[in-house]
Amino acid sequence: MSDDNQCPACEEGLPPWLATFADLMSLLMCFFVLLLSFAEMDVLKYKQVAGAMKLAFGVQRDVKATEIPKGTSVIAQQYSPGKPTEVTPLEIMREKTTDDTKTNLDFTDSTSRNDQSLAEAEALAKAHAEKMAKEEAEELKKELAAAIGEGLLEVEAFNDRVLIRIREKGSFGSGKADLKPEFAPILEQIALVLNQRDGQFIIAGHTDDIPIETKTFRSNWDLSAKRAATVVHFFIQRGDIDPERMEIRAHSDNQPLVPNDSWENRATNRRVEISVLHGNTESILMDDPADNVDYVQDQ
């Protein structure tokens, strides 16, 4: 054979295009792996589709036989009242059904069971929190019994917290936010009690419905906020309570305990409330404390 007809020598190594092809295949594999990892099967939707397919094509059902089953094949190990169309050594698989007269597929939504379990867990947690609040309230009543007996304080359990209600009597003057000196020992005692507890404290100021407008207070909002701030500053300076554990809230005259139809009732509504959130380190949304009394304000 002449030299002109000989094939040229092949270059060593793989052709350059193979590297690009390999990269493309790797990227495609990663793409499909990601698709598979992100895919989630909707069990409810799957069962609904399966039910629709059942109605469209039908499924194999076990037919009840009135006679004793007889073997129709030496090879087949399964027995059926009908003659098999094909003799096969493979195991015959049938769908198990409890009632072949139903037109819809029975299923139970797992989401509803999870929601029910979650609701039960929340109910148990709420009941436990209310129990702890009642026990805490009883302890605070014993520790603050002297001030409670003089009508200066009230302590009650409310949902998942304990409420210490400071009455205006003996604490603040009418239309003023300066703490009376004779009330300081009582606040020191409250601060001592609070320091022995864990959790967050919310100090809220309340007023009656008589509007106020002075150089110091533009409205009842200013007055209620200033009274709450006075209590907080006292707790920080003389009670040694961590400022990060306290919040201030002002409600003006929007949450009365009793109707503002007499001077005695207005005095009841003028107050500062300390909410002890037992076991909580962060503030939570609270319900209206006025909901804890049997009173509906007339509109």
Tokens of 92: 């015959």
Contact 63, 81 (CB under 8 A): yes
238-243: long-range contacts, CB 8 A cutoff, minimum separation 24: 238/184, 238/187, 238/188, 238/191, 239/187, 239/188, 239/190, 239/191, 239/192, 239/194, 239/195, 240/191, 240/195, 241/191, 241/194, 241/195, 241/201
| Domain positions in the chain | 40-107, 125-292
**pLDDT of res. 297:** 43
Q: Round to whole Å and give the CA distance between 186 and 276.
A: 17
Contact 105, 46 (CB under 8 A): no
**pLDDT of res. 221:** 92
Four-CA torsion 135, 137, 143, 145, nearest 10 degrees: -130
**pLDDT of res. 61:** 58
Q: Round to whole Å and give the CA distance between 66 and 87.
A: 24
**pLDDT of res. 298:** 44
Report the candidate in 214, 215, 217, 248 with the shortest Cα–Cα distance to residue 232.
Answer: 248
**pLDDT of res. 231:** 92
CATH of 125-292, one of 2.60.40.10, 3.20.20.80, 3.10.450.40, 3.30.1330.60: 3.30.1330.60
Q: What is the pLDDT along the chain (299 residues), one digit of tens a residue?
A: 555 667 777 777 778 888 899 999 999 999 988 887 777 767 677 777 777 776 666 555 566 666 665 555 555 555 455 554 554 555 555 545 555 555 554 545 555 555 667 777 777 877 777 787 788 888 888 888 888 888 888 888 877 788 888 888 778 877 888 888 888 888 888 888 888 888 889 999 998 888 888 888 889 899 999 999 999 999 999 888 888 989 999 998 898 989 988 888 888 888 899 888 865 444 444 455 555 444 434 43
Q: Round to whole Å and give the CA distance between 193 and 202.
A: 15
**pLDDT of res. 3:** 58
272 exposed, middle or buried (CB, 10 Å; 0-12, 13-18, 19+)? buried
